[in-house]
Amino acid sequence: MGNTTPADLKYTKNDEWVRLEGGTATIGITDYAQEQLNDIVYVELPDVGAKFPKGESFGVVESVKAASDVYTPVGGTISAVNSGLEDQPELINTDPYGEGWLVKFTVDNADVSDLLDADAYAAYCESR
């Protein structure tokens, strides 16, 4: 993988990442995912206030190659969406762990014990 896998995040096998800070979870897609998708051209995100149970699709990331659903690794209510992606979806390609974040949740279910840490996720990506 091109970028390092940040150690402070948790990862899913669907290639989402989550950063938990208190009762807020910031969610995006991983560097591996954006590399697989290639040039991202459109992002469909939910409205603030929408509720999603853990594991449900909350949006779509589209590239010139494919469209990919994005799933929430935690349950909760959308508290913010990255509106900058409407005009600059390529931020996901250039900065997937920073400016390319997708949504923030107010967390109902912060159990991330089933998610991968950075080392496990990196190994999972290499195995594919």
Q: How far is Cα 114 from Cα 6, in angstroms, rounded to an integer?
A: 18
Q: How far is Cα 70 from Cα 58, in angstroms, rounded to an integer?
A: 6
Residues 38-50 pLDDT 10s: 999 999 999 999 9
Residues 48-83 pLDDT 10s: 999 999 999 999 999 999 999 999 999 999 999 999
Amino acid at 125: C
Q: Enumerate domains of the chain plus CATH numbers.
A: 10-111 (2.40.50.100)
